Structures are given as C-alpha cells and as structure tokens.
Amino acid sequence: MKKSEKRWLWISLGFSLIVLVGILFFTIDASTFTLLRNTDPTFFILALLIHILALVFWGLRVKFMSWGLGYRVPFLQCFNLVLANLLVAAITPSQAGGEPVRVHELYKAGVKVGDATAIVITERILDGFVLGLGGAFFMLVLGSIWQQLGSIYSYFMYASWIFITVIVVLFLYSVKNPDILKKFLLRIVRYVAKLMGKTRMEKYEQAVDREVDNFHNTLAMFIIQGKKGLFLGLICTAAFWFLESVIVSLILLGLGQPPIYVESLVIQLIIAVIMMIPLTPGGSGIAEILFTSMYSIFIPTSLIGIVVVLWRSILFYSNIFLGLLGSLVIVRREAKGRDADR
C-alpha cells in the first residue's frame, strides 16, 4: 500500500473511531449491561456471513454482466475484484471510490477497457435504479414510517430520489446521444489540461473520442444482446441491497431485541444515498451519525451505541480486512507476472 493510501486509511479509521467513542460515551448507561446479558453471538456471526453473501451477489453481478457482453470472467476473479474494491472505497471520499480497481481487474481478465468501464458504470446505474425504485416504493406505500423518521429525512429522501432519477435519465439520454457525452468529457479534459499547463490536446481528445465510442457500443450491446446479463445483474443488485439492510435486524436479534426489517429498509436506503456523496473517506463519521440519529427512534438509547459499533464492524472494518486480502491476491499475481517476464 502506498504511503498516501496508508495516510487516508488512518484518517478514515480515525474519523470513525472518534465518532464511535463519542456515541458510546453518550449512550452507554447502567441498563446497557443489563440488556447485554441476553446477547447471542450466533446472530453476529450470521450477520457477517450475510454481508459476505451480499458481496458474493456483487461478484455475481460483475460476472453476469461480463457474460452478457461475451466475456467469461471466472467468479473467483470477480469476487476478488469486489474485495479489492472495498479497501479503496474505505479510504476515498464516499463509498463509491473503487471503480478504477474494478475496471483494472476486468481489463486484466481480458475485458476491453471500454467494455470494463461500461460494466462498472452500468453497475452504478443499476444501484441508482434499485435505490430510486425502492425510494419511490417507500414514499408511496410506507408513509407512516417517513413520519416517524421526521420531516428532515423525508424531504432529503424526496430530494435524493429526484436526484437519482434525474441522473439516470440524463445518463440514458447521453447514451442515446454520444456526441453530448463527448462534448461534456472534452470540456472536463480541456479544463484539467489547462490547470496542468498542457497545451497539446490531440492525444487526449482522440482517447476521449475512442473510449466514448467503445462505451456507447458496449451499452448498445447490453441492450441488444446482453439483456440477460443486464437482467441478472439487476437481480443481483436488488439481492445485495436487501441483504445489507437485513444485517441490523440480525444484530438486534443477537442483542435480544425485536428485529425492524421494514424500518431498516427505509433507513438503509437513506444512508446508502448519503454515503455516495464524497464527504469523508469511506463515509466514516457520517455513517455513524446518520445511523444513530435515525435508528434511535426504534432502538433503546442504552443499546444504540453498541448496535452502531457492531454494524460498522461488519460493514466497514471487515471491509478493510477483506479488501486487504483481495489486494494481497492482486499484488502476488502482479509479482508473479513480473518474475515470469524476466
């Protein structure tokens, strides 16, 4: 791991730990230890296994979408690129920072750069579609739970749902009209080049033109011949988000508390949207505060600190460990490749 990456990792861990300590300080009381007598660690282990199963569905999504474009990427390689992606996501602002890792690993598996980029971007579109559809469902069907969360979160969810919907629509429009996407990317490239003091732009403009064409052709292939892969990817996306939302209820069962499956779906939807905003590395600190403020409506105050620690241990700290394992596999593979070339 590079020195800068280590620094960001420690910053991310520091943010999270400071907030967690603060939450525990203000929530733990005498009744906390009484409630902890009913603890059943089996449910915590099950929650971790459910999280790993969700990551398995993520790996299957990558595999199915690659298969839809005619590539045969082994599942273990798809699963490992998901794991390696977790480490980068934990040390970059927002949890959606591991895309370059997934593109690189797909390229190493024989997928063209344009196709790999299209797969990874389409993954995010599927995430947006599932979250947007879930938001619409909850807004229309579960109005009473919105009222329990309060008007601030309700308004934020409305705004987030509209934002996701607009982004998806604009994306689909740019896919249909690739020249618009080219103009947009060229403006960004020229602006960045100007800041860096570069004047010769032909190489970069040609690269943008070429990759946008490849990307557009790939998405056309998804629509024309990769529909099955896209549909299976959508199923895996829905399974991923559903399993992640179940984890809190399993933690509560482990603490001897009743589960809150439906409420958790609503809250996790809000947290997932906010965590995509680049505020802190890995969303650390932000996730803990959001979790505490929203779940405190349904969970006893004396237990909320324990729950948030267990939740972050499963969805954040375990991700760092799993990400290190995935990155180690990649480093060893690259080292063997260099030795073979000598």
CA distances to 112, 168, 184, 268, 280 from 171, rounded to whole Å, are 21, 5, 12, 25, 26
Q: CA 83 to CA 65: how far, in whole Å?
A: 18
Q: Which residue has the tokens 């100007």?
A: 194
Q: What per-residue confidence (pLDDT) applies to 131?
A: 79
Sign of CA dihedral 324, 326, 330, 336: positive
**Spatial CA neighbour of 23 closest among 288, 338, 341:** 288
Q: 314, 51 in Cβ contact below 8 A?
A: yes
Residue extents of the structural domains in the chain: 38-176+226-341
Q: What per-residue confidence (pLDDT) applies to 13?
A: 76
Q: What per-residue confidence (pLDDT) applies to 82?
A: 94
CA distances to 46, 197, 246 from 322, rounded to whole Å, are 17, 40, 20
Q: 10 Å Cβ neighbour count for 148?
A: 14
Joined together, the tokens standing for residue 17 give 């730990």
> One digit per residue, pLDDT tens: the chain, 342 residues?
566 666 767 777 777 788 888 888 888 888 888 878 888 899 999 999 999 999 999 999 999 999 988 899 999 999 999 999 888 877 776 555 678 889 889 998 888 887 888 888 888 888 878 877 776 676 666 655 555 555 555 666 666 667 666 766 766 676 667 777 777 777 777 776 666 666 566 676 777 777 677 667 767 777 777 788 889 999 999 999 999 989 999 999 999 899 988 778 777 877 877 776 666 666 677 778 888 888 888 888 888 999 999 999 999 889 889 989 988 888 888 777 666 655
**Spatial CA neighbour of 317 closest among 97, 93, 86, 102:** 86
Burial class of residue 32 (count of CB atoms within 10 Å of its CB; 0-12, 13-18, 19+): middle
Q: Please calculate the CA angle 219-160-294 and round it to the nearest 5 degrees.
A: 130
Q: What per-residue confidence (pLDDT) applies to 18?
A: 86
Q: Is the pTM higher than 0.85?
A: no
CA 40 to mean position of chain CA atoms: 29
Q: CA 42 to CA 335: how far, in whole Å?
A: 39
Joined together, the tokens standing for residue 275 give 């965590």
